Amino acid sequence: MRPGSPFPSINDLKEAWIAWKASHPEKIAREYEEEFCSECGGKGYFEVVYEVVPSRFGLIEYTTILPCAKCRNWKKVFGEKPRKLWTREEIEKHPTFYLKDKRHIAGRAKQVEEEQELCTEAYVPL
């Protein structure tokens, strides 16, 4: 602590960080070797859209990421093991998820156009 200050000094913070790392080695991020994955493209996760909401400004997509079950590249993003690992096939079969990648965009283009038409029809200028 610096004299006259309620806050720790920078050196105190550095020493506390070094001590914490020494006492918690399992919580420190490690480098993982990347492996090639044909499912996720080597990212370790899938970008998934779970809800599309029309608004007066266009479509709003709510997205999340799901870890890939085929490779271990998800460790870079998620750290500890997630509850469930996903394959591309499981995501495509899921009733509310759709993949946000080039393979899927071509098949979904018509549906998105129809949703955008609904948005423009519903838009009423003030």
Alpha-carbon distance 13 to 42, whole Å?
37
- Would you say residue 29 lies in a domain? no
- Would you say residue 15 lies in a domain? no
- Would you say residue 106 lies in a domain? yes
Range with lowest mean pLDDT among 7-11, 56-60, 67-71: 56-60
Domain range for 103: 37-122
Kindly report, residue by residue over 36-60, the tens digit of the pLDDT: 888 888 888 999 888 888 888 888 8
Q: Could you tell me the two tokens for 18?
A: 């070094």
**Mean of the per-residue pLDDT values for the chain?**
79
Kindly report, residue by residue over 89-104, the tens digit of the pLDDT: 898 888 888 787 754 5
- Would you say residue 107 lies in a domain? yes
Average pLDDT over residues 18-23: 89
- Would you say residue 13 lies in a domain? no
- Would you say residue 3 lies in a domain? no
- Domain count within the chain: 1
- Would you say residue 80 lies in a domain? yes
| Closest of 8, 28, 33 to residue 18, by C-alpha | 28
- Would you say residue 104 lies in a domain? yes
